[in-house]
Amino acid sequence: MSINAQTSQTGEAPVTIVPPLETGDCLARPEFERRYEAMPWLKKAELIDGVVYVGSPVGILHAEADARLTGLLGMYAAHTPGVQCAGNATLRLDMLNEVQPDSLLRLAAGGRSRVEPEKQYLEGSPELVAEVAASSVSRDLHSKLRLYLRHAVPEYLVWRVLDGEVDWFRLEAGEYQRLTADANGILRSREFPGLWLDQPALLRGDMASAMATLNQGLNSPEHEEWAARR
């Protein structure tokens, strides 16, 4: 009898006990998913290179930053045909890696990722992954950065909320290079034309200005031309 099964004294069929997920567990993706799905109250857990990381309670600093960033990416997707924005979606990268990025943008058709039909999980590499890093900053800028680089995610954005910095990486010649902001502090995506991020406004919480800058990007010739081809 399996060590995960128990038989009642009345001779009833064995009852399978699914072990809980705990940070530091070393698992392959099928067992990770089996345990995760047996814990519906658990909001976030990730598998990175075969190691489990269970999410901790989320403070308001991270939650507010997450809402700001996802709101901007969602606005871009809403005005760009064929682009999908998702927050905390399960993303399968390989048999030892399954993560939940805070936000992502993907091409819904003809892109690098696909939707698995049974569970509706994403598989493959979205065109842009974004993480809000507070307590997780060391993981987001090291193990996750290496993971996304290995899977050739074209753009990776990390908002370090405690440091007041945004790192936006672009895949070039097999390496991540930081995008450079212009004189006004605006970062421009190369993967998604017209996705303009007003870094100073975002960091100070001025979402009206951040939205206005994004609107400028959405009305730019490069976005209109690119969107027309989608």
58: CB partners within 8 A, 6+ apart: none
**Residue 135: per-residue pLDDT:** 64
**Residue 199: per-residue pLDDT:** 96
Give Cα 112 distance to the centre of its chain: 15
Going by C-alpha positions, the residue among 155, 163, 164, 168 that lies closest to residue 202 is 164
**Residue 13: per-residue pLDDT:** 59
Which structure tokens are listed for 22? 């705990």
Ranges for all domains in the chain classified under CATH 3.90.1570.10: 59-229
Q: Amino acid identity of 170? A: R
Going by C-alpha positions, the residue among 175, 173, 169, 95 that lies closest to residue 130 is 169
* CATH no., domain 59-229: 3.90.1570.10
**Radius of gyration of the chain measured on its C-alpha atoms:** 20
38: CB partners within 8 A, 6+ apart: 18, 20
State pLDDT tens for residues 7-53. Answer: 445 556 566 789 999 999 999 999 999 999 999 999 999 999 999 99
Q: Are 21 and 54 in contact (CB under 8 A)?
A: yes
10-residue averages of pLDDT along the chain (230 residues) = 45 77 97 96 95 90 93 97 96 97 95 95 97 78 92 96 93 96 97 98 96 98 92
**Residue 8: per-residue pLDDT:** 45
Degrees (nearest 5) of the Cα angle 52, 56, 57?
160
